[in-house]
A and B are shown apart, each in its own frame.
Chain A
Amino acid sequence: MRDVLRAEEVTVRFGGVTAVKAVSLALGAGEILGLIGPNGAGKTTLFNAITGFAPMQAGRVTLEGRDVGTLPAFARTRLGFGRTFQTERPFEELTVLENVLVPAFLTEPRRREAERLALAVLGEVGLADRHDQPAADLNLARRRRLELAKALAVTPKVLFLDEIMAGLNPPALREMIALVRRLAERGLAVLMVEHIMQAVVELSDHVVVLASGETIAEGAPCDVMANERVIEAYLGTD
């Protein structure tokens, strides 16, 4: 039942450039979909179109059957989309806890309950002991965790992760992979843009490969990796 998130024939154009061409994907609860492809393939743009951060010229986006494709980004968040940004975007002047409080207030308007939720999420991503550190002072691995914590604190149904593994050292990478797996086991639907093949292979139930804005292959991770068009797309660009 891959019906939590459905994107159908999503097309995004910037001026004359078509960054995403009629891409479709579907995702069920507890499932992890890996979205891969060379740089500039349109992964982030597709991500932005689905979550409402980039205008979509054609296509449909549904969340649990409900059409959300015309709603502003913040409204999609409230309905159950949690996203990270490829380049982390913490609220720099706030502490770690305060950063997570902002989305936590969505479901818990009262301070005390919101703080409890935020601390629980920080515990989950392993940042609880840093809760009163200014967000601007975090190192890369912790900024990633904070980014993930902010997305989780909206209590999403679908989690959108844009290259959260990039640049992590091996231990941090292993922890992040384990964390994402736990989240999916808890029932979250996860759409994951990722370059780190180890993470894609270990985590994805299904992989979609984009190149120049088009889906060139999809299927189980090992099948997709062996696909000639995929190998060619990767070798051909870099």
Chain B
Amino acid sequence: MTTHLVGLGVLVVVGAVYPLVFPGALTIAIAVLLFAGWATAWDVLGGWNGQVSLGHASFVGLGAYVVAIGASHGIAPWWALPLAAVAAAVLAYGWGWTTFRLRGPYFSLSTIAVAEILRLIAINEGWLTGGATGVFIATLPEPFGIDLFSRTAQFYLALAFAAGVIATVIVVSRIRFGYQLRAVREDEEAAMAAGLDPTGVKLRAFMLSAALTAVGGGLYGMVLAFIEPHVIFSLLLSVQIALTSIIGGRGTVWGPAVGALILVGAGEAFRTTFAQANLLIYGVLILAVVLFVPRGIVGELVRRHVRRRYARRAQS
């Protein structure tokens, strides 16, 4: 617990001074923070609750579109972001309600379809979404004279998002809900014997995960300022979010954030040095994690720590 709070403090302090020290490297830092937040939010469902989604781009896109369409109708982001969160939770509820009750891999498979359906809606409902060309954010309000298009402002928003999602997970991991998530992940029948309704628990996890992801999606919309349906609702984005969490360590507080740092960092390095080979290297990285650290990087460290702590106490 204290370790987590210290980690959060370090994140906030380092983040606060980062733009002053590296003013030229804000865009990549924003990418790291957004992915950290998304992967951490994905992990509420995928790691803590064990329900793997390959469709979280749905919520990123939903958030981005709500903010962009809102902006074109004069709705400020601070209204659009909560609205996006609610919309995402509602979508997650309907989608989870239809798929969680089916046993087997139906949920994971269905997640791929939902992002695709949203993409088609975005393309076909041009009156609302700008169709296949996409939608521009031309103006944003300037609260207290802050330019929301500036990279510095966006960096701090992304920092607040990532820190907020991680703080949420720190709390969740401690309270009843967090244990319900893990119990359902470990064994649904045993969870029922403990009085839990597995479908209800999964639904709540999905709604929280979706709502948090959509907030980051809204920020991403502001960062891009131009939202194209085939980019924002892409399977690649969904897969990247899931992999960030899996490589970093599912079901751990810091795993997804560490995964974001590694994957976004590595992606950037490989894009410049290896150009075309970057997808291949992604693949190799994933294979290495799956083979050698199946719990993810932080997941492995946490497990060793728990074992060591117990062994020490058992000896004394």
The reply to whether the CB of A106 lies closer than 8 angstroms to some CB of chain B is yes
Using a CB-CB cutoff of 8 Å, which residues 154-210 of chain B contact chain A? Answer: 174-176, 179-180, 182-183, 185-187, 189-198
Q: How large is the interface on B (under 10, 10 to 19, 20 to 34, 35 or more residues)?
A: 20 to 34
Contacting B193 at CB < 8 Å: which of A73, A101, A111, A132? A73
Q: Is the CB of A53 within 8 A of B194?
A: no
Please report whether the interface of chain A is mostly helix, strand, loop or mixed according to DSSP: mixed
> Which A residues are in CB contact (< 8 Å) with B191?
74, 102
Judged by a CB distance under 8 angstroms, whether A11 is at the interface is: no
A105-B175 Cα distance, complex, nearest whole Å: 9
Chain B residues with Cβ under 8 A from A101's Cβ? Answer: 179
| Alpha-carbon distance A49/B308, docked complex (angstroms) | 42
> Does A95 interact with chain B (Cβ within 8 Å)?
yes
Question: Which residue in B175, B176, B192, B251 is a CB contact (below 8 Å) of A53?
Answer: B192
User: Nearest B residue to A135 by beta-carbon distance?
Assistant: B186
Assembly CA distance A72 to B101 (angstroms)? 13
- A41 located at the interface, meaning its Cβ lies under 8 Å from any Cβ of chain B in the complex: no
Cβ of A190 to closest chain B Cβ, rounded Å: 16
Q: A114 touching B176 by the CB < 8 A rule?
A: yes
Q: Report whether over half of chain B's contact residues are helix, strand or loop; otherwise say mixed.
A: helix
B127 interface residue, CB < 8 Å from A?
no
Q: Which residues of B contact A73 (CB under 8 A)?
A: 189, 192-193
Q: Is the CB of A95 within 8 A of B306?
A: yes
Q: Give the size category of A's interface with B.
A: 35 or more
Residues of chain A with a CB closer than 8 A to B196's CB: 74, 102
Report yes or no: A74 in contact with B306, Cβ–Cβ below 8 A: no
Q: How far is the CA of A102 from the CA of B309 in the complex (A)?
A: 22
Q: Does A133 contact B (CB under 8 A)?
A: yes
Provided the pairs A53-B192, A74-B196, A78-B195 are in contact, do residues A132 and B313 lie with their beta carbons within 8 angstroms?
A: yes
Q: Which residues of A contact B198 (CB under 8 A)?
A: 74
Report the Cα distance A66→B314, complex, angstroms. 47
Q: Contacts of B193 on A, CB cut-off 8 Å?
A: 51, 53, 73, 77, 82-83, 85, 89, 103, 150-151, 154
The residue in chain A whose Cβ has the minimal distance to the Cβ of B306 is: A134
Does B310 sit within 8 A of A, measured CB to CB? Answer: yes
B313 CB contacts on chain A under 8 angstroms: 132
Give A116 Cβ to nearest chain B Cβ, in Å.
14
- Chain B CB within 8 A of A94 CB: yes
| A111, B186: Cα distance in complex, Å | 20
- Looking across the interface, which residue of chain A has its beta carbon closest to that of B186? A91
**Interface status of B307 (Cβ within 8 A of chain A):** yes
A167 contacts chain B at the CB level, 8 A cutoff: no
Per the bound structure, the CA–CA distance linking A51 and B190 in Å amounts to 12
Cβ contacts A to B, 29 pairs, < 8 Å: A52-B192, A72-B192, A72-B197, A74-B192, A78-B195, A82-B193, A83-B193, A85-B193, A89-B187, A89-B189, A91-B183, A91-B186, A91-B187, A91-B190, A93-B185, A98-B182, A101-B179, A102-B182, A102-B194, A103-B194, A105-B179, A105-B180, A106-B194, A111-B174, A111-B175, A134-B306, A134-B307, A154-B193, A154-B195
Chain B residues within 8 Å of A, Cβ to Cβ? 174-176, 179-180, 182-183, 185-187, 189-198, 251, 306-307, 309-310, 313-314
Apart from A101-B179, A106-B195: 7 A-B pairs, beta carbons within 8 A: A51-B193, A74-B192, A75-B197, A82-B193, A93-B251, A102-B191, A103-B193
